[in-house]
Amino acid sequence: MLNELLGEIVISVVGKQATEIVELLNTPKYVNEFLLAKKLGVTINQTRNMLYKMSDYGLVSSVRKKDKKKGWYTYSWRFEISKCLEFLKDLLLKNKKEIEEEIASRKLKRFYVCESCGLEYDEDQALLMDFTCDECGEVFTVKDSSKLIKDLEKALTKINAKLKIVEVEVEKERGKLDKKKALDLKKEEKEIIKKKALQKKKRELNKKVQKAENEKSLKKSNKKVKKVLPKMKSAAKKEKIRKKVSPKKGKKVSKK
């Protein structure tokens, strides 16, 4: 059913010649424009013209990729289903309004027709022409609009039925988008949790490294102290002995 609706959209925008593109673009993945041209059996320029017309209404989106060997960009395309359905819905509502206005007009107003020329006029126009055809001079007759009203009402019924189908497809697409958003949110939450766990692990590792470096530095300091301490003790001992042996300042030494 979705392909049928998309087909109507494509026909209204591009024309019947583009109906084959529907099945190719109705995919979650982007399709290369050269592959589209090949499968459609048309030139790349003809394919791009169709895609650009649909793109003007936001019905399709594209991504580009640079060819590493040749250096130019190639584009890939796909339908934007939600926008397509909204476009069709607006189109149907517009047609519905026009038909409802036409039905109301046919029921309230009187129309006249020239049986010979097949030309139709409303009451104001017929009055200005004195109810006589300018082309052939034949007098107008009142047109029976009952059959036309029935046909318009049938068309209105079909439009209302199609609007319900479109609404069902819109709900389906909303469901898909909501599901995708939920999955993306869940994935994002997992990434955040993972990132926080990695940051915590990194902090703990940094603490361990810092602790190890501090311990290493302390051991080096202790080793230096152990090496210097005996020398300091020896120096202090020698200084003490020197002070005991050497005479005090200001004391005279007696001569015999």
What confidence tens digit (pLDDT) does each residue in 63-82 have?
A: 998 877 777 888 999 999 99
Lowest mean per-residue pLDDT among 60-69, 139-148, 168-177, 225-234: 225-234
**Mean per-residue pLDDT for 102-129?**
92
Q: How far is CA 249 from the centre of its chain?
A: 97
What confidence tens digit (pLDDT) does each residue in 22-58 have?
A: 999 988 899 999 999 999 999 999 999 999 999 999 9
- Asked if the model's pLDDT at residue 253 lies above 70, the reply is no
| DSSP 8-class letter at 15 | -
Q: What is the overall mean pLDDT for the chain?
A: 85
Confidence band, pLDDT 50/70/90 cuts, at residue 148: very high
**Mean per-residue pLDDT for 180-187?**
77
Domain ranges of the chain: 2-79, 84-198
**Mean per-residue pLDDT for 164-171?**
92
- Asked if the model's pLDDT at residue 255 lies above 60, the reply is no
Give the side-chain half-sphere CA count within 13 A for 34.
5
- Asked if the model's pLDDT at residue 178 lies above 60, the reply is yes
Cα(84)–Cα(6) distance, integer angstroms? 7
Q: Which two tokens stand for residue 6?
A: 């998309």
Cα(221)–Cα(179) distance, integer angstroms? 62
- Asked if the model's pLDDT at residue 106 lies above 50, the reply is yes
Cα(9)–Cα(168) distance, integer angstroms? 17
CATH number of 2-79: 1.10.10.10
| DSSP 8-class letter at 139 | B
pLDDT at 256: 40
pLDDT at 157: 96
pLDDT at 184: 74
- Asked if the model's pLDDT at residue 247 lies above 80, the reply is no
Burial environment of residue 251 by CB neighbours within 10 A (0 to 12, 13 to 18, 19 or more):
exposed
Cα(85)–Cα(9) distance, integer angstroms? 9
